[in-house]
């Protein structure tokens, strides 16, 4: 039986240097539950080291936590990678780490990159330059996500920077995204006018939260049987009554 599940698929933790330090996994889980969200994805920049903590913090809560990452391509376009469990995202993380541009994070310039556990205890500080790009082209990233069984979503295509459209001017036909994401700045009507060339793709919207107050600011409702990645994939293709809707 199909049921609606409200999803925010783009949330950063304190591991992302641009996120507020209050964005611990447990605080994110608590806030998402308070706001009636059914599915979230943890999508830090070029890293997935807070995924396990977030999933542990959500145990027995009824909230589904997808394992995600926001990967920066060599074109400096952001791409969301979503997985049901940590195995696929950790394989992707290995490849991303091996292809990050050289350099060390400047905490004074970019912010701290904090790895924590489900109890908000600091476990480590990631020293990689997570805010930077990888040497991986967008096509390689999308294909790698699919090879490991994940979903690939073009991040905030309506933004003037770090989107596939801002960086390339268009979406190449050989980029097989599962969906395109609109940021909270664009409503459904505006999106239909500005991006009608891309109606063959599923569209989603999420908060891209870097602060607790922003979690759930925008969500996508999935009409699906259960909150799994495969069901969401079917909804993005409008198969057997499943749908992904917003606006």
Give the start-to-end residue ranges of the domains of the chain. Answer: 3-245
- The counts of H helices and E strands in the chain are 8, 11
| Longest CA span, the chain | 51
- In this predicted structure, what is the pLDDT of residue 244? 97
Is the CA virtual torsion 180, 182, 186, 188 positive or negative? positive
- In this predicted structure, what is the pLDDT of residue 209? 98
Helix 86-98 and helix 138-147, axial crossing angle in degrees, nearest 10: 150
Q: How far is residue 211's CA from residue 22's CA, in Å, rounded to a whole number?
A: 7
pLDDT band of residue 236 (cuts 50, 70, 90) is very high
Question: Structure tokens of 143?
Answer: 């294909």
- In this predicted structure, what is the pLDDT of residue 128? 97
- Rounded to 5 degrees, φ, ψ at 141 are -65, -50
- In this predicted structure, what is the pLDDT of residue 242? 98
pLDDT band of residue 204 (cuts 50, 70, 90) is very high
pTM: 0.97
Q: How far is residue 37's CA from residue 207's CA, in Å, rounded to a whole number?
A: 12
Residue 217 carries which DSSP code? S
Question: Structure tokens of 95?
Answer: 């490849």
State yes or no: pLDDT of 247 exceeds 80: no
Q: Classify domain 3-245 at the CATH class level.
A: alpha beta
Report the Cα–Cα distance between both ends of the chain, in Å, rounded: 24
Please name which of 82, 16, 46 lies closest in space to residue 244, comparing C-alpha atoms. 82
Residue 50, CB-side half-sphere exposure with 13 Å CA sphere? 34
Burial (CB count <10 Å: 0-12, 13-18, 19+), residue 72: buried
Q: Which residue is listed with tokens 């599962």?
A: 178
């Amino acid at each position: 039986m199909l049921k609606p599940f409200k999803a925010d698929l783009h949330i950063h933790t304190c591991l992302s240097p641009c996120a507020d330090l209050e964005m611990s996994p447990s605080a994110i889980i608590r806030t998402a539950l308070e706001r009636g969200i059914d599915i979230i994805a943890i999508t830090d920049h070029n890293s997935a080291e807070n995924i396990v903590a977030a999933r542990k913090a959500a145990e027995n809560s009824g909230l589904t936590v997808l394992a995600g990452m926001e990967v920066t391509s060599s074109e400096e376009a952001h791409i969301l990678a979503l997985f049901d469990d940590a195995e696929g995202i950790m394989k992707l993380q290995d490849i991303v780490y091996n292809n990050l541009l050289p350099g060390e994070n400047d905490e004074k310039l970019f912010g701290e990159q904090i790895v924590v556990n489900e109890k908000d205890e600091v476990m480590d500080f990631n020293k990689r330059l997570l805010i930077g790009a990888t040497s991986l082209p967008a096509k390689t990233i999308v294909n790698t996500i699919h090879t490991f069984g994940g979903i690939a979503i073009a991040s905030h295509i309506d933004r003037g920077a770090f989107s596939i459209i801002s960086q390339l001017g268009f979406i190449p036909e050989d980029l097989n995204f599962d969906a395109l994401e609109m940021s909270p700045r664009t409503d459904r009507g505006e999106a239909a006018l500005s991006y009608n060339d891309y109606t063959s793709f599923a569209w989603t919207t999420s908060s891209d939260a870097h602060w607790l107050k922003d979690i759930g600011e925008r969500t996508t409702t999935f009409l699906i049987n259960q909150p799994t990645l495969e069901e969401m994939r079917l909804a993005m293709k409008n198969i057997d009554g499943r749908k992904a809707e917003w606006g």
